[in-house]
Structure 1
Amino acid sequence: MYYAELAKARDQLTGPGGDFEIVEANVLGNRIRTFKNAPPSIRDVWLATQEFSDRDYLVYEDERLTYGDAHAQVAAIASWLFAQGVQPGDRVAISMRNYPEWMLVYWACVSVGITVVGMNAWWTAEEMSYALADSEPKVFFLDSERLARVREKPAMVDGVKLVGVRLDETTDNITPWSDVIAHGGALPDAEVDPDSDACIFYTSGTTGFPKGAQLTHRGCIANLMNLMYSRVSSAAAVFMATGEAPPDPPPVPNGLITTPLFHVTANNCGAYAVTAAGGKMVLMYRWDAGEALRIIEREKITSMSGVPVMAREIINHPDFDKTDTSSLMTLGGGGAQVPPDLVQKIEDKVATARPNTGYGMTETCGIITSIAADFYVDKPDSAGPAMPNFEVKCVDDLGNEVPQGELGELWVKGSSVIKGYLNRPDATAEAITDGWLHTGDVARIDENGFIYLVDRKKDMVLRGGENVYCAEVEAGIYRHDAVAECCVFGVPDDRLGEEVGVVIVLKPGETLSEAALREHCSAVMAKHKVPRFIWFQDDLLPRNASGKFLKKDLRQKFVPATA
């Protein structure tokens, strides 16, 4: 394989005069690696897309917006927000399905220095209420399903101006979307600090409520640069080794966005990459592999952004062989590790597409590593090399770096690392040491700099790309008066990677059915956190010497067939 050529290409691209030249800068008190040629803010990224005004940009079912349409609406939204008194540094929340309005509001806000609060659309009213109180947005854009949750706890939006998107009704205290667009106007001028908050995405907390990760303009743009660099560096290495030149200019991307826009996988990786290249972004109401295949054929999709299970469902679908997928250039996934067998299946079954993946976190504004094509086929169990703006190391429990090839917790440092967690200096201090983010993932790094993820240090279930922290689910279950003890852990699942399982011990004399427990859980936590597998036992749960539950023993004892 072309590892020597890849190292040479990386050095040329990131060295002095290279398109992706890396320099060190003092950012928020830490000396970090950053891109010398990066645009200063996301405003610059959005404004640069004006040259694509006649191209299709956002496609949703039978709706189609060009870049010109999008720029007019983005300007109107930003102008309307300023007319409401919203200013740079203020926050605006979004909670809805993947409608085109999500992206339009996002670009409108970040282009004038307003911070987007991207709320998880699956949250319960209680979780939504917490995030609104935590982030204090001045305006809240929401659809009919989220409005129904607001009405369960109307006090959560006291003092917040509501804008309704695709509502089935008109309500006096909700501004309709049409009024916002009708406001018109030019995009207001604004000076945007590269290290100001571009958006706040909430990540599941190890206990209690989720934490608001503060993604900066510098971090989001660095992620975009990393995405571009990954493609260019791999192509350069292949050219050095084989003489096979990549298309020049590269084809305009048509991306199918299948995961929620309140995650970095869809927003920072999928949407940014397509938008910056003047490509077309196709959104779905909900994931359906058959519908995705129809869209791939109709819209000539070149890449699909999703979790790995979606790629598996695409190639296993009965309509796959009857569908024209010849436009596909890449297929893979992020948000969860791609099983090695799927890498080869994509390589073998999709004639034009090469497998790809990226490993990252909300806390790194997107990818930490990326791998595709020949390199991925050669190392299907690797997440790829770290992107150039990161320093990486594996450390032991004391924070000491371990020798190359040995296992340790992966720590990363660079311009993509978040500023911190909103209103949570304790959580920030726990997660970031002198600029080094503790990923919570146990990994090793090989002689070529490729990273292999082998385990998770954090106690969580990774369900279809969603982090579900066991302690958070346990905290919700303990709110039921009948529960004496419970232990939550991940149960392997072919489709989603893992499902949530729980073993429960009831208080003496109490009774509780599976249905009643799920009903209780559904009231206090998002649907994807509700345990699929439930076991009850009479004896107290096994513990180690320090009193912690022996999850390994429970996983071995309790299997899906007995749930």
Structure 2
Amino acid sequence: MHYAELAQARAELTGPGGTFEIEEVEVLGQRLRNYKNAPPSVREFWLSTAAFADRPYLVYGDETLTYAQTHAKADAVAAWLLAHGVKPGDRVAVAMRNFPEWMVIYWACVSVGVAVVGMNAWWTTDEMAYALGDSAPKVLFLDDERLVRVQARPDMVAGIKLVGVRLVAAHPGITPWDDVVANGGAMPDVAVDPEADACIFYTSGTTGNPKGAQLTHRGCVANLFNLMYAGASTARAMQLATGLEPPAEAPIPVTLITTPLFHVTANNCGAYATTAAGGKLVMMYRWDAGEALKLIARERVSSMSGVPVMARELINHPDFLTSDTSSLVALAGGGAQVPPDLVLKIEDKVSTARPGTGYGMTETCGIITSVSGDFFVDKPDTAGPSMPNFEAKCVDDDGNTVPPGAIGELWVKGSSVIKGYINRPDATAASITDGWLHTGDIARIDENGFIFIVDRKKDMVLRGGENVYCAEVEATVYRHAAIAECCVFGVADERLGEEVGVAVVLKPGEVLSDTELREHCAVLIAKHKVPRYVWFLDEPLPRNASGKFLKRELRDRLSPA
């Protein structure tokens, strides 16, 4: 495999004079790796995309906005916000589905130094009330579904100006979206500090209230450069290995946005990278594999990225073989580990597309690693090498670096690590040590710098003193042809502390017994890793808004009896 060529490509691109040259900069008292050629803030990046004027940008149903039309609306929103008392450093919340207005509001706010608070659209009334109280926005943009929750607890929006997006009817006290953009206006001239908050995205804590992560302008721009670098380094490595020249002009990307824009997967990764290339964002009201296949064919979608289960549902869909997916060149997964069998299925079943993944976190403004194409097929259980603006190491429980190749918690340090959590200095101190972010993931790093995520630290099953990594067991279960979905978690056990449990959904028409599943696993993994408890469910496994399986809910709901 072409690992020497990849190392050469990395050195060329990130060295002196390279497109992705890395330098060390002082950021809030820390010396951090950063991209020398990155714009100072998201404002400069967004304004530069006005050059794509007549290209289609945002597609939703039968609506299309060009770059010029989107810029005009963003200019109008920014002017309206400043005219209504919002100042740089203030916050504006967005609580709605993936409508085109989401992106318009986002670009408007970041362009004038106003932080966007991404409200999880799945939140209950109480969860919305908590986040609004925690983030204290000046303005809340909301749709009909979120309006119902606000009306149930009007106290949660006391002192907040409300703007209604795509509301079915007018409501007193709520400014219609059309009124906000009606008067137009030029983009206000505002200098934006690179260390200012670009957005506040909430991380779903395993216990207690979610934490509002402060993603800075520097961090968001660095993540964009990481995304561009990931593609450039792989392409350059393959050019060095094969001698084949890449096309003189890269094709304009068309990306299907499948996950919510209040998360970094869709916003900081999908939307940023496509926007930087003057591409088209195709938006969905909700994830549906059949609808996705129709949009891929109609809009000539070149890439789709979501949580891995979405790619699995796409290629397992009854209409897949009869749908035109010839425009796809990348089918990626992030937000959860891509099971190795799925990497090979994408390679095998989608003739035009290559598999890819990015591993990252809200706390790193997006990706930490990326891998695609031949490198992913060669190492289907990897998350890829870390991006150039990160230092990465694995540590033991005392924070000491473990030897190369050994398993430990992954810590990373770099310019896209968040500033901290709003109003939570305790949580910030617990998560970041001298600039090093504790990812909470158990990993190992191989001789080529490729990172392998073994499991979530807290999701690991500790069975009789033996660590059982859920991702390994899930990958084994998925190797059975009858499995559509599975989720492995720990089940309390008096004798061993924990036993391995798995919730399984079978493909339509398949039949499988718990004994047969255990026999399948016993051939492939050690006996102590084979699930003792097996539940066959008739409905899809529960997921959160970002598409990850809710292990805690499954654990609470499914009785060992």
Task: Report the counterpart of residue 46 of structure 1 in structure 2.
Answer: 46
Task: Report the counterpart of residue 143 of structure 2 in structure 1.
Answer: 143
Task: Report the counterpart of residue 540 of structure 1 in structure 2.
Answer: none
Consecutive unaligned residues of structure 1, counting only runs of 5 or more, are 471-486, 497-521, 538-557
Task: Report the counterpart of residue 69 of structure 1 in structure 2.
Answer: 69
CA distance in 1, matches of 2:122, 2:31: 38
Alignment of 1:410-429 (within 5 A): 410-429=410-429
Q: Structure 1 residues 309 and 183, CA, compared in 2 at 3 Å: closer, same or farther?
A: same
Task: Report the counterpart of residue 120 of structure 2 in structure 1.
Answer: 120
Show CA shifts across 1:267-306 (max 9, x none). Answer: 0000000111100000001111111001000000000021
Alignment of 1:451-466 (within 5 A): 451-459=451-459
SS of equivalent residue, structure 1 residue 331: strand
State the one-letter code of the partner of 2:76.
A
Q: Give the superposition deviation at 1:492.
A: 4.4
SS of equivalent residue, structure 2 residue 184: coil
Show CA shifts across 1:110-155 (max 9, x none). Answer: 0110000001000011111011001000000000000111111110
1:402 has 2:409 as partner: no
Is this contact kept in 2: 1:257–1:305, CA < 8 A? Answer: yes
SS of equivalent residue, structure 1 residue 37: coil
CA distance in 1, matches of 2:50, 2:103: 16
SS of equivalent residue, structure 2 residue 553: coil
TM-score, with structure 2 as normaliser? 0.84
Q: Give the superposition deviation at 1:245.
A: 2.1
State the one-letter code of the partner of 1:409.
E
Task: Report the counterpart of residue 298 of structure 1 in structure 2.
Answer: 298
Task: Report the counterpart of residue 5 of structure 1 in structure 2.
Answer: 5
Q: Structure 1 residues 173 and 90, CA, compared in 2 at 3 Å: closer, same or farther?
A: same
CA distance in 1, matches of 2:249, 2:422: 41
Q: Structure 1 residues 490 and 354, CA, compared in 2 at 3 Å: closer, same or farther?
A: same
CA distance in 2, matches of 1:535, 1:256: 34
CA distance in 2, matches of 1:118, 1:191: 23
Q: Give the superposition deviation at 1:208.
A: 1.3
State the one-letter code of the partner of 1:259.
T
State the one-letter code of the partner of 1:48.
S
Show CA shifts across 1:160-201 (max 9, x none). Answer: 000001111111110000100102100000000001000000
CA distance in 1, matches of 2:24, 2:430: 25
Task: Report the counterpart of residue 511 of structure 2 in structure 1.
Answer: none
State the one-letter code of the partner of 2:121.
A
SS of equivalent residue, structure 1 residue 103: helix
Task: Report the counterpart of residue 553 of structure 2 in structure 1.
Answer: 531
Alignment of 1:509-528 (within 5 A): none
1:431 has 2:420 as partner: no
Q: Structure 1 residues 492 and 242, CA, compared in 2 at 3 Å: closer, same or farther?
A: farther
SS of equivalent residue, structure 1 residue 45: helix
CA distance in 2, matches of 1:365, 1:283: 21
Is this contact kept in 2: 1:122–1:527, CA < 8 A? Answer: no
Q: Give the superposition deviation at 1:535.
A: 5.5
Consecutive unaligned residues of structure 2, counting only runs of 5 or more, are 461-469, 475-486, 490-497, 508-543
1:242 has 2:242 as partner: yes
CA distance in 2, matches of 1:490, 1:140: 42
CA distance in 1, matches of 2:132, 2:308: 31
Cα RMSD (Å): 2.4
Count of residues paired in the alignment: 491
Q: Structure 1 residues 386 and 183, CA, compared in 2 at 3 Å: closer, same or farther?
A: same
Query: Which structure 1 residue ranges, 4+ long, deviate > 6 Å from structure 2?
Result: 460-463, 487-490, 526-530
State the one-letter code of the partner of 1:231.
G
Task: Report the counterpart of residue 369 of structure 2 in structure 1.
Answer: 369
Show CA shifts across 1:482-521 (max 9, x none). Answer: xxxxx9998545699xxxxxxxxxxxxxxxxxxxxxxxxx
Q: Structure 1 residues 144 and 276, CA, compared in 2 at 3 Å: closer, same or farther?
A: same
Is this contact kept in 2: 1:43–1:111, CA < 8 A? Answer: yes
Task: Report the counterpart of residue 541 of structure 1 in structure 2.
Answer: none
State the one-letter code of the partner of 2:239.
F
TM-score, with structure 1 as normaliser? 0.84
Is this contact kept in 2: 1:309–1:495, CA < 8 A? Answer: no
State the one-letter code of the partner of 2:237.
A
State the one-letter code of the partner of 2:553.
P
Q: Structure 1 residues 187 and 489, CA, compared in 2 at 3 Å: closer, same or farther?
A: farther
Task: Report the counterpart of residue 86 of structure 2 in structure 1.
Answer: 86
CA distance in 2, matches of 1:167, 1:313: 32
Is this contact kept in 2: 1:235–1:245, CA < 8 A? Answer: no
Q: Structure 1 residues 190 and 243, CA, compared in 2 at 3 Å: closer, same or farther?
A: same
CA distance in 2, matches of 1:257, 1:285: 10
CA distance in 1, matches of 2:424, 2:372: 37
1:258 has 2:280 as partner: no
Is this contact kept in 2: 1:308–1:337, CA < 8 A? Answer: yes
Task: Report the counterpart of residue 542 of structure 1 in structure 2.
Answer: none
Show CA shifts across 1:523-553 (max 9, x none). Answer: xxx996883565588xxxxxxxxxxxxxxxx
SS of equivalent residue, structure 1 residue 151: helix
Task: Report the counterpart of residue 102 of structure 1 in structure 2.
Answer: 102
State the one-letter code of the partner of 1:211.
K
Q: Structure 1 residues 125 and 18, CA, compared in 2 at 3 Å: closer, same or farther?
A: same
CA distance in 1, matches of 2:123, 2:158: 19
- % identical equivalent positions: 69
Q: Give the superposition deviation at 1:26.
A: 0.9
Task: Report the counterpart of residue 160 of structure 2 in structure 1.
Answer: 160
SS of equivalent residue, structure 1 residue 192: coil
Show CA shifts across 1:373-425 (max 9, x none). Answer: 00000000000000000000000011110110000000000001000000100
SS of equivalent residue, structure 1 residue 531: helix
